[in-house]
Structure 1
Amino acid sequence: MTRSTDPASLDIVTAATEMRAGSLRPSALLDSILERIDEVEPELRAFVLVDREGAHRAAVDLDRELARGKLRGPLHGIPVAVKDIFDVAGFPTRCGCRAYDDAPPTSEDSTVVARLRAVGAIILGKTTTHELACGVYTPPTRNPWDLERIPGGSSGGSGAAVAAGMAMGATGSDTGGSIRIPAALCGVVGIKPTYGRVSRAGVAALSWSLDHAGPLARTVDDAALLLQAMAGVDPRDPTSIDRPLPDLFPSSEGSLQGRRIGVPGELFFDGITDAVRGAVDDARRSLSELAATIVEVSIPELAWTLPAEFGIVLAEGASYHEQLLRTRPKLIGENVLGLLDAGALLPATYYLRAQRLRAVIQTAVRRAFEQARLDALLAPTLPAAAARHDQLTYLFDGREEGVTDAYVRTTAPFNLTGQPVVAVPAGLSPEGLPIGVQFAGRPYAEDTVVTIARAYERASGWREKSFPPRGIAGVLAA
């Protein structure tokens, strides 16, 4: 089967179009996806479980509805994977942690999963997460572009599954970059929406004030479709916002004429590889050719990102997992246990100082948008391509930096501000590994960043080159 005839190689928009035309059935698409899982999952290890029986039942029901001319919604028959911190009825939520190996099946879906089902998505199963959604490696999952590299985290299984064609989309969470990090390293699209845009009811927390839920997919349009299904106010989540999601698919889109896109110099460009710097420069040129105005901006307060982010995450994470720390600490991995123990020991004054730093960063970013009349910021998603599984540091201009710090440094600013962000592939490193850029917009303006990201994606031509990833090409050709 070639790429042009293999349904698993389709994007969501194309598959949905073929279903409406009657040339593709949900069960046929599911069979193709499950065949892909059989081919590459033994190499990638992106799933903790695949619900073949439940997925087949759902596909048969959706086949019948389609035959009667009924469509549940824009994701009718689309196979979607779920990060294993989201509740899926009938299955345990284990959060990548041995302490939850004996967790009972949950009785109801998380709000996100329920909303995906309501518009016709088929829930394939649950993907791996870095333990307790607190890390960037996500063992044992491997990167589809190079099996010796990490997929990123904490939503690493979701990123790898989507990149490899084992799911057409997936859910993720983003506390300090956990959607955008695997999106960048695996060469897919990730959206971190405005804080509160997507309900976190039925989603295991790490940091109440920083956690965001959102989608990963192969293209901007696919991710936008998923976000439309997931978004909305929810009485089960007191942080969810009662504000309609703007239209992510306006009827007419021309150039980016009139759009003003800022490029911040600090933090994002102090310590990055030449390949990433070149990708951002190329993106600037592409956006200029699309008639956008590029504006240099200075936001020196971003230097406080890491102390603010970690001060909040560690304290809130220790609070959320307090009982686990007290009763089953030996079942938590050494690295994550160390982080949570540190959070439990943080004085309240440090946590409050971190929240004050967050407010300083929020104010500075808002001021930059207002003074420069910006629609979005352009920045590298990450400073480098994927690390090796055993790699602990990067070397930037003779300065060593930990892998986690390097990744979070460029993603966490927008968790602190709560702005919507779209992370988009932007090319390959000299080693043939994906690198990406991200567009951050004004709060509640997901439509603007999706429009800009879509225009850039189409101009770059990346989505035509991104499948199959190099690391699994041999498996698929066998």
Structure 2
Amino acid sequence: MSAVEVVAEAVAAAERLDPVLHFLEELDAGALAAAERVQPGGPLAGVPFLIKSRTPADAPIIARLVAAGAVPIGWSTRARPGAQSLTFGWNGTDYTRNPWDLSRSPGGSTAGGAAAVAAGVVPLATGGDSGGSLRIPASFCGVVGFKGTYGRIPRPGGRPLGGLTTAGFIGADLDDVIVATSIASGPHRLDPTALPHWPVPAPQDRGAWRVAYRATLGACPADPAVDRVLRDRLTEAGVELVDVPLELESTDEAWQVLSGLDNGRGASATAANRARQIRDHNNTALADLFAEVDLLVTPTTLTVAHGYDQHEESIVTGDPCWVFNVTGHPAVSVPAGLADGLPVGAQVVAPHGSDAVALAMARQLQVALLPPPIR
């Protein structure tokens, strides 16, 4: 197939399904023309993808995908500004729906990207993860979401003061997400402090994994059905579960301060020092954990997808995620099974810089789900 044929098919699918799922903020009218200009041979030649709403036009992640031959077909929805909960998507008139169940949310804030990937419209969507914004929707929609070690992919504004957000991808296939991350990685003139280029990792040839499992990392417990899916999957995968202490300080306070610093709201010296102390404590606690085990596995979300109309409620489901935005560890979510007919995500976390280890474990844990009803 030509790039034009592939992109035309994706655009047609978007036009057909967006009135049902509301995952688009806007289609790119120039997508077919861009497909005509694609040169054969690029690692992503002709691959259609969606850009997360409000991503700056000069973002390195977009420029590098396009340089590799990928074609953006539009901009996907994200959470409505000022909403009580951010695990939703909003296109300006309606809320984004989950292709597994139209009464459910696809998560957020990369809501539209996850819904479109799960529905088979595009194989990849870009996003940024400052509190689980890639991993939560990946979990709700039964696809892959990967946040590399902090700084893995350069950002257009350079390194912010708080250091929470890592750009990344949601994809239907783990290998696609890995390739896209490699292409987008490495320092850039807009972010010269980004980590060095990250090559596609070689297969991990090793014996049994030593894994610490935690059903929750906060005060709220995981739904028993979600916890059961993860425990069963770890048993099926044959990993060695190791009981290692892990005492983390609550992330809530530090995350709010660091988010304020990232977004220009500032913070008092006392609050900033306290946030740094929490980050340092949790980094040390995790370093001690990883001295005893290879990986940490948690449910990505404490529940399966909640209702799309619960956007004004304070919903606690992504607690296992934002801990690792504060610390900067690599974390990936892959589908691990179903609970009540809805996807359950497994979050795999590795030491700083050990992205390849997290991805290797994720490959072993992921389950190939049947396609969702809306596709």
Q: TM-score by structure 2 length?
A: 0.91
Q: What is the distance in 1 between the residues matched to 2:217 and 2:294?
A: 20
Counterpart position of 1:454? 363
Which of 337, 349, 357 is residue 440 of structure 1 equivalent to?
A: 349
Deviations 1:307-353 (A, max 9, x none): 2222322x225x52x5xxxxxxxxxxxxxxxxxxxxx7x64422321
- Deviation of 1:156 (Å): 0.8
Among residues 233, 244, 266, which one is paired with 2:187 in the alignment?
233
Structure with max Cα Rg = 1
Return the match for 2:20 from 43, 52, 64.
43
Superposition map of 1:173-322 within 5 A: 173-201=128-156, 208-241=162-195, 243-248=196-201, 250=202, 252=203, 257-264=207-214, 267=217, 271-288=221-238, 292-301=239-248, 303-313=249-259, 315-316=260-261, 319-320=263-264
Q: Could you say which residue in structure 1 is the equivalent of 2:287? A: 366
Structure 1 residue 208: deviation in Å?
4.1
Deviation of the 1:296 alpha carbon: 2.1
In 2, Cα distance between equivalents of 1:234 and 1:213: 13
* Corresponding residue to 1:79 among 21, 27, 48: 48
Deviation at 1:278, TM superposition (A): 1.1
Q: Is the 8 A contact 2:49 2:71 kept in 1?
A: yes
Check 1:269–1:164 CA distance in 2 against 1; reply closer, same or farther (3 A cut).
farther
Counterpart position of 1:385: 304
- Which string of whole-angstrom CA distances, capped at 9 and with x for unpartnered residues, describes residues 360-406 of structure 1? 11111111111x1x222111000001111233699xxxxxxx41xx2
**1:129 match:** 78
In structure 2, what residue type is equivalent to 1:311?
V
Q: Is the 8 A contact 1:266 1:299 kept in 2?
A: no
Structure number with higher helix proportion: 1
**Residue 425 (structure 1) shift:** 1.0
Is the alpha carbon distance of 1:84 and 1:455 closer, same or farther for their aligned partners in structure 2, counting shifts above 3 Å?
same
CA distance in 2, matches of 1:225, 1:56: 24
Pair 49,392 (structure 1): closer, same or farther in 2 beyond 3 Å: closer
| Two-structure CA RMSD over aligned residues (Å) | 2.4
Aligned length: 369
1:412 aligns to what SS in structure 2? helix
Secondary structure at the residue paired with 1:114?
helix
- Listed as ranges, the gaps of 5+ residues in structure 2 are none
Identical residues among aligned pairs (%): 32
1:268 & 1:426 partners in 2: Cα distance? 21
Deviation at 1:157, TM superposition (A): 1.3
Q: Which residue of 2 aligns with 1:117?
A: 66
**Corresponding residue for residue 5 of structure 1:** none
CA distance in 1, matches of 2:334, 2:72: 24
SS at 1:407 equivalent: coil
Gaps of 5+ in 1: 1-23, 89-108, 323-343, 395-401, 474-478
State how far apart, in whole Å, the 2-side matches of 1:119 and 1:418 are: 27
